[in-house]
Amino acid sequence: MSIALYIGQINRASHMPLPLYASKVPAGFPSPAEDYMEGRLDLNERLIQHPHATFLLKVSGDSMIGAGIMPGGMLVVDRSIEPVHGKIVIAVLDGQLTVKRLHKKHGVIRLMPENNQYRPITISDEQDLEIWGVVTNVINCLE
C-alpha cells in the first residue's frame, strides 16, 4: 500500500507539495518539490488534512461558544477522522444536523453543548444518531 499512500500525499492539497513528498521521490529523480519548498504559507495546508473528505459548514447558534464556536462561525469538518470520545462533531440526530462535543462513557452516548444555557442530550435507544464528521477547526470572522 505504499503506492497508495504516496498518491494520497500528492493529493493532499491543491498546489503545495510538502517536504514529505520530496522525501518519497527516489534518488536521481528530479525533485518537483524543491522549487516550492519556500512557497507562501497556505491556510488550506494548515486547516485541511484530507481535502476530499473535508466540508465547510456554518453555525448559527450559540450552544458551543465555550469551545470557541461563535454564531456565524465557519466549521472545517473532516469526515475521515474517527469520532472518538471528546471530539467536537457534527451529529445527525433524528435527521437534523447539530454541532456538539461527543461523550461516550459506560455505553452511554451524550451530545454535550458548551454553553450552560443548554442541556446535554442523552441519546435514547429510540433515537437515531449518526456522526456526520469531526470538526477540526473553526473560523470566526471578526468583522
Partner 1 sequence: MDVNNFYVSCERVFRPDLEGVPVVVLSNNDACIIARSQESKGLGFKMGALFHKVLPDLKKAGVKVFSSNYPLYGDMSDRAVSVYRQFTPRLEIYSIDESFLDLSGFDELLDLGQKIKQTTKRDTGLPVCVGIAQTKTLAKIANRIAKKNPQYNGVFKLEAGDAEQLQKIENADIWGISRRLDPKLQELGIYNALDLSRADPKKIRQKFSVVLERMVYELNGISCLDLEEVAPAKKGIMVSRGFGQYQDKYPRIQEAVAVYATRAGEKMRKQGLAANTLTTFLRTSPQGDAQTYYSNSHTVAFPEATNDTALIIKAAWWCLKKIYRPGLKYQKAGVFLDGLVNADCTQKDFFFKPDTGKSKTLMTVLDKLNKDHGRDTVRFAASGVSTDWKMRQRMVSPRYTTSWDDIKTIP
Gap between the Cα atoms of 77 and 80, Å rounded? 9
Pairing mode of beta strands 74-78, 121-122: unpaired
* Residues facing 122 on adjacent strands: 110
Distances (CA, A) of 31 to 7, 12, 51: 15, 17, 23
80 binds partner 1 (CB under 8 A): yes
Task: Give the residue carrying C-alpha cell 452511554.
Answer: 108
Cα 122 vs. chain centroid, distance in angstroms? 23
Give min distance, CB of 106 to partner 1, in A. 26
Per-residue x/- marks for partner 1, 36-55, CB under 8 A? Answer: --------------xxxx-x
90 binds partner 1 (CB under 8 A): yes
Q: Which of 16, 18, 47, 57 binds partner 1 (CB under 8 A)?
A: 57
Of the two residues 28 and 106, which places its CB atom closer to partner 1 in the complex?
A: 28
Residues engaged in binding partner 1 (CB under 8 A)? 3-4, 6-8, 10-11, 14-15, 17, 24-26, 29-32, 35, 50-53, 55-61, 74, 79-80, 90, 92, 95-99, 130, 132
